[in-house]
Amino acid sequence: MPTAPHAVDANTVDLWRFDEGAGQLTADSAGALNTATLGASSAADAADPAWVAGYPFPNLGPTATPTNTPLPPTATNTPAPTNTPTPGPSPTPTNTPLPPTATNTPTNTPVPPANSALTFDGANDFVQAARSVSASRFTVEAWVRPAAANANGIMLAEADDNNGWSLELDAGRPILWLSTNAGWQGVLYPTTLPAGQWAHVAAVYDNGAVRLFVNGVATTPATVGATLRITPSGLRMGGVPGYAYFAGALDDVRISASVRYTANFTPPATLPAVDVDTLAQWAFNEGAGQSVADASANARTGTLGASTAAGADDPVWGAANR
């Protein structure tokens, strides 16, 4: 085994001592100067052998001194960053929340019932509107549901102390009061309205002839004064101060300038179409709010209570359930 690095002599064709310790080239110490390259090229690559410390010869002679100064690192010696993270495709979100569609719109928005009515507490609730009746012929009608049997109360009235008309319950029986040239006179229906049940009540006044109908069933005609004392007061539904208020529900109030009924009839489930004799009619189908619309051309919009503000004198909205 050699104890020192080989020396170049006349027979040496090439001699690479690998003493550079770094870089991509290793010098040929022999005369051929056949410089060798590490790996596939002078750039760093996977085929490059690694530099390590050489064999520890015990007797390094003068010839063992590296004759070629290690090459300074060149640009090509800089290890190429082979593992720099390459930006890959941006992650594509695959579960982006879908925007709400029309079908996601809440469907439980409160919707007023198609047929609503107003319930009066019998203490101070009322609806007011402009007066309708201005002659000695009219028909007034409404659906009525008394809260209790045998009660008193004003349902509909266009009256003051001396003039006008008033449709009331008298111990549960419908009665039409009229102020005529003969003074105040009342025409009473012979039977009571049951509590908690809808009944259609109609009253006709025609120049002294009066008829009442409950669920389309007529009374015998009555005769009173032929001329109505017209009141300047407006319409009140549910009560007039100083008199008993009506406890129960009202719906489909209609006032006409003609005789609507002369014999038994089937009460209309809903208000008939407006015609030339319709002075006013209120379906109470708003279901909410402070106003009730008059479908007639007279536009006698009603107000709940004394003002359009919510108050203790407002009747309460509810489904008619008729």
DSSP lists the bridge partners of residue 111 as none
Residue 141 binds Ca ion (CB under 5 A): no
Query: Which span (48-56, 62-70, 209-217, 248-256) binds Ca ion, by CB under 5 A?
Result: 248-256
Query: Which span (70-78, 159-167, 207-215, 277-285) binds Ca ion, by CB under 5 A?
Result: 277-285
Query: Which span (150-158, 181-189, 243-251, 253-261) binds Ca ion, by CB under 5 A?
Result: 243-251
Site for Ca ion in 101-140 (CB under 5 A): 115, 121, 124-125
Name the 3-class secondary structure at 223.
strand
Please pick, from the candidates 38, 202, 279, 304, the single residue that binds Ca ion as defined by CB under 5 A.
304
The rounded distance, in Å, linking the Cα atoms of 142 and 281 is: 9
**CB neighbourhood size of 268 (10 A):** 13
User: What is residue 148's DSSP assignment?
Assistant: S
With left for phi above 0 and alpha for psi between -120 and 50, is residue 289 left, alpha or beta? Answer: left
Residue 294 binds Ca ion (CB under 5 A): no
Q: Which residue has the tokens 């007066």?
A: 131
Nearest distance in Å: CB 102, Ca ion: 31
Provide φ and ψ at 62, rounded to 5°. Answer: -55, -30
Please pick, from the candidates 40, 135, 312, 319, the single residue that binds Ca ion as defined by CB under 5 A.
312
- The letter for the amino acid at 204 is V
Q: Closest CB to Ca ion among 73 and 311? A: 311
Q: Closest CB to Ca ion among 251 and 294? A: 251
Residue 208 binds Ca ion (CB under 5 A): no
Question: Quick one: three-class SS letters along 224-236?
Answer: CCCCECCCCCCEE
Residue 283 binds Ca ion (CB under 5 A): yes
Residue 272 binds Ca ion (CB under 5 A): no
Q: Which residue has the tokens 């279901």?
A: 287
**CB neighbourhood size of 280 (10 A):** 25
Interacting residue ranges for Ca ion, rule: CB under 5 A: 115, 121, 124-125, 251, 283-285, 304-305, 311-312, 314, 320
